[in-house]
Structure 1
Amino acid sequence: MHDADATREEGRQICVELGGVMVVPQEKELQHLLNICSCSRSSFWIGCNDIETEGTWVCLDGEGTIDVQDKRWIDNQPNNNYGNQDCAVSHTSGWHDEECETTRKLICQRSV
């Protein structure tokens, strides 16, 4: 987990510099770990976005893109409420969309 808050792009770059990618919680165990990390009511950037095509959420996990329409979104999310919410955030209650220029915590993952 990175201590300082960062925009989504800053977070992506930090993870790359550390030899990884922004976390993509595909497995239940990893999502559970994110929920534990979020207990302080912090939200974390996850490596999912709909920047390319509004409404088509994909995740970059170092292997390619993954359709996430059926993942752990909070009710009524993603909603693009402010018209520019293209990046995904994980919170204790699930995922929601957020403006990419907002600053959040981040967790990077890499292969072992």
Structure 2
Amino acid sequence: MSWHMFLMLLLLSVASAEAKPPRRNWYGSYVMKISRETIIRLRNFMMNIGDLLGLDQCPEHYTKYVIGDRPFCYRFYPNLCDDWQKVRDFCQYEGADLISLTEQNFKFFRELASDLTNHGCGNGSFWVGLTDNKTEGNWMFLNGEPLSLRSSIWSSNANLENPNNDCAAMMAPNFYLVASNCTTVHSAICQIYLNP
């Protein structure tokens, strides 16, 4: 049995243990309700178990990235169009998070993003896991890595001086990072770390 199948069985057993009685939906079938937080916690738990067991396979529809950095899986969602938090919630629901880029892998992801300019939310831009919402001007990736304001992956007109721009996106047409208002609508790049 694959560990993804094991996760699904675990989710079903947790649903019954959450003491939420099954209810009938409109067409008569019984439905068990699992809280979204429980699903996210279980997916993250299973990813950690997978790392411990050396299961370095990416989930379906994710692609493995192994060049130079710590290996991870990624997936572009050009048709997922929403604000930063809702897009991040979606990634987390998948057991992932918004991507944390490095100067070493940025060129690779920039080229992939530029191939998707005719898809998605109209402007072809993608949210990444970078924000300064805790301390203005202190940009941190979701994996805890800081990004200098002098980094070469910022666009020359990155709008960093606007205090209302607390989230970062790879912005078309050149796909360098730009500070954006977190309520703006962009697509997503989700990332799942693997055990090195």
1:24-103 equivalences under 5 Å are 24-26=100-102, 28-39=104-115, 40=117, 42-61=124-143, 65-69=144-148, 70-71=150-151, 72-81=153-162, 83-91=163-171, 92-103=174-185
- SS of the residue 2:141 aligns to: strand
Which portions of structure 1, spanning 4 or more consecutive aligned residues, are displaced by more than 3 angstroms? none
The aligned amino acid for 1:87 is C
CA–CA distance in 2 between the matches of 1:14 and 1:38? Answer: 22
Which one has a larger percent helix, Structure 1 or Structure 2? 2
- Figure out how many residues of one structure are paired with residues of the other and give that number: 108
Q: Could you say which structure has the larger radius of gyration?
A: 2
Sequence identity (%):
25
CA–CA distance in 1 between the matches of 2:107 and 2:92? Answer: 21
**1:23 positional shift:** 0.7
- SS of the residue 1:110 aligns to: strand
Query: What residue ranges of structure 2 are gaps of 5+ in the alignment?
Result: 1-75, 118-122
Structure of higher RCO (CA pairs closer than 8 Å, 6+ residues apart): 1
The aligned amino acid for 2:93 is E
2:14 matched residue in structure 1: none
TM-score using structure 1 length: 0.83
Query: What residue ranges of structure 1 are gaps of 5+ in the alignment?
Result: none
